[in-house]
Amino acid sequence: MTDRKDFTIGWLARRTGCKVQTIRYYEQIGLMPEPPRSDGNRRLYGAEFADRLNFIRHSRDLGFSLGAIRELLSLAENPDQSCAAADKLARTHLQDVNSRIARLSALKTELERMSQQCSGGKISECLVIEVLADHSKCVSDEHQTA
Protein backbone atom coordinates (compact mmCIF):
# COMPACT_ATOMS: atom_id res chain seq x y z
CA MET A 1 0.00 0.00 0.00
CA THR A 2 1.20 3.53 -0.66
CA ASP A 3 2.57 5.93 1.96
CA ARG A 4 0.99 8.89 0.18
CA LYS A 5 -1.07 11.20 2.37
CA ASP A 6 -3.13 12.91 -0.24
CA PHE A 7 -6.39 11.03 -0.12
CA THR A 8 -9.65 12.70 0.87
CA ILE A 9 -12.02 11.74 3.65
CA GLY A 10 -14.33 10.38 0.95
CA TRP A 11 -11.57 8.00 -0.15
CA LEU A 12 -11.07 6.89 3.45
CA ALA A 13 -14.81 6.36 3.89
CA ARG A 14 -15.06 4.26 0.72
CA ARG A 15 -11.85 2.34 1.53
CA THR A 16 -13.09 1.34 4.99
CA GLY A 17 -16.87 1.29 4.58
CA CYS A 18 -17.14 3.89 7.33
CA LYS A 19 -19.31 7.00 7.13
CA VAL A 20 -17.62 10.38 6.86
CA GLN A 21 -19.47 11.56 9.99
CA THR A 22 -18.12 8.59 11.94
CA ILE A 23 -14.56 9.33 10.83
CA ARG A 24 -14.95 12.93 11.96
CA TYR A 25 -16.41 11.75 15.28
CA TYR A 26 -13.47 9.41 15.85
CA GLU A 27 -11.15 12.33 15.15
CA GLN A 28 -13.04 14.54 17.63
CA ILE A 29 -12.78 11.98 20.44
CA GLY A 30 -9.14 11.19 19.69
CA LEU A 31 -9.43 7.62 18.36
CA MET A 32 -8.21 8.81 14.99
CA PRO A 33 -5.33 11.27 14.83
CA GLU A 34 -5.90 14.68 13.35
CA PRO A 35 -4.89 14.35 9.68
CA PRO A 36 -2.60 16.80 7.95
CA ARG A 37 -4.33 19.45 5.87
CA SER A 38 -3.85 20.61 2.32
CA ASP A 39 -3.19 24.22 1.40
CA GLY A 40 -6.94 24.44 0.86
CA ASN A 41 -7.55 23.08 4.41
CA ARG A 42 -8.82 19.68 3.22
CA ARG A 43 -8.06 16.68 5.39
CA LEU A 44 -5.45 14.43 3.79
CA TYR A 45 -5.32 10.74 4.61
CA GLY A 46 -2.84 7.98 3.90
CA ALA A 47 -2.98 4.22 4.17
CA GLU A 48 -2.08 4.28 7.88
CA PHE A 49 -5.38 6.08 8.54
CA ALA A 50 -7.28 3.31 6.76
CA ASP A 51 -5.41 0.68 8.79
CA ARG A 52 -6.25 2.41 12.06
CA LEU A 53 -9.88 2.93 11.08
CA ASN A 54 -10.19 -0.74 10.09
CA PHE A 55 -8.80 -1.67 13.53
CA ILE A 56 -11.40 0.56 15.21
CA ARG A 57 -14.25 -0.76 13.05
CA HIS A 58 -13.32 -4.39 13.67
CA SER A 59 -13.07 -3.71 17.40
CA ARG A 60 -16.52 -2.09 17.35
CA ASP A 61 -17.91 -5.03 15.37
CA LEU A 62 -16.66 -7.27 18.18
CA GLY A 63 -18.45 -5.05 20.68
CA PHE A 64 -15.51 -3.37 22.38
CA SER A 65 -16.30 -0.04 24.01
CA LEU A 66 -14.66 3.13 22.76
CA GLY A 67 -12.62 3.23 25.99
CA ALA A 68 -11.35 -0.30 25.46
CA ILE A 69 -10.51 0.51 21.84
CA ARG A 70 -8.56 3.55 23.00
CA GLU A 71 -6.54 1.28 25.33
CA LEU A 72 -6.03 -1.35 22.61
CA LEU A 73 -4.80 1.30 20.17
CA SER A 74 -2.38 2.57 22.78
CA LEU A 75 -1.10 -0.96 23.35
CA ALA A 76 -0.74 -1.52 19.61
CA GLU A 77 1.54 1.50 19.39
CA ASN A 78 4.09 -0.33 21.60
CA PRO A 79 4.54 -3.69 19.87
CA ASP A 80 7.47 -4.87 22.04
CA GLN A 81 5.56 -4.84 25.32
CA SER A 82 3.72 -7.80 26.85
CA CYS A 83 0.26 -8.52 25.51
CA ALA A 84 -1.11 -9.21 29.01
CA ALA A 85 -3.09 -5.97 29.08
CA ALA A 86 -4.70 -6.68 25.70
CA ASP A 87 -5.51 -10.21 26.81
CA LYS A 88 -7.09 -8.87 30.01
CA LEU A 89 -9.26 -6.46 28.01
CA ALA A 90 -10.40 -9.28 25.72
CA ARG A 91 -11.15 -11.63 28.64
CA THR A 92 -13.11 -8.94 30.48
CA HIS A 93 -15.10 -8.23 27.33
CA LEU A 94 -15.75 -11.95 26.85
CA GLN A 95 -17.14 -12.17 30.41
CA ASP A 96 -19.43 -9.22 29.65
CA VAL A 97 -20.59 -10.86 26.42
CA ASN A 98 -21.31 -14.16 28.19
CA SER A 99 -23.27 -12.32 30.87
CA ARG A 100 -25.27 -10.45 28.23
CA ILE A 101 -25.98 -13.71 26.39
CA ALA A 102 -27.31 -15.26 29.60
CA ARG A 103 -29.60 -12.26 30.21
CA LEU A 104 -30.79 -12.28 26.60
CA SER A 105 -31.48 -16.01 26.80
CA ALA A 106 -33.63 -15.44 29.90
CA LEU A 107 -35.38 -12.60 28.09
CA LYS A 108 -36.07 -14.85 25.10
CA THR A 109 -37.49 -17.56 27.36
CA GLU A 110 -39.79 -15.08 29.09
CA LEU A 111 -41.03 -13.56 25.82
CA GLU A 112 -41.67 -17.02 24.37
CA ARG A 113 -43.62 -18.04 27.48
CA MET A 114 -45.70 -14.86 27.41
CA SER A 115 -46.45 -15.26 23.69
CA GLN A 116 -47.26 -18.96 23.89
CA GLN A 117 -49.60 -18.53 26.85
CA CYS A 118 -51.50 -15.66 25.30
CA SER A 119 -55.09 -16.80 24.86
CA GLY A 120 -55.88 -14.26 22.16
CA GLY A 121 -58.78 -12.96 24.23
CA LYS A 122 -59.30 -9.54 25.75
CA ILE A 123 -56.59 -7.21 27.04
CA SER A 124 -58.05 -7.60 30.54
CA GLU A 125 -56.99 -11.29 30.37
CA CYS A 126 -53.75 -10.81 28.41
CA LEU A 127 -50.69 -12.46 29.98
CA VAL A 128 -48.33 -10.13 28.12
CA ILE A 129 -49.92 -7.06 29.73
CA GLU A 130 -50.25 -8.83 33.08
CA VAL A 131 -46.56 -9.81 33.24
CA LEU A 132 -45.40 -6.38 32.10
CA ALA A 133 -47.51 -4.78 34.84
CA ASP A 134 -46.36 -7.21 37.57
CA HIS A 135 -42.73 -8.34 37.34
CA SER A 136 -43.31 -10.98 40.03
CA LYS A 137 -45.20 -13.01 37.41
CA CYS A 138 -42.00 -13.45 35.35
CA VAL A 139 -40.34 -16.85 35.38
CA SER A 140 -36.90 -15.29 35.92
CA ASP A 141 -35.37 -12.03 37.07
CA GLU A 142 -32.27 -12.49 34.89
CA HIS A 143 -33.65 -10.56 31.92
CA GLN A 144 -34.05 -7.32 33.86
CA THR A 145 -30.88 -5.69 32.52
CA ALA A 146 -30.64 -7.37 29.13
* Average pLDDT, integer, range 70-77: 95
Tens-place pLDDT, residues 110-119:
888 888 877 7
What pLDDT was estimated at residue 126?
A: 80
Structural domains of the chain, with CATH: 1-65 (1.10.1660.10)
Q: How far is CA 132 from the centre of its chain?
A: 29
pTM over 0.85: no
DSSP 8-state secondary structure symbol assigned to residue 137: G
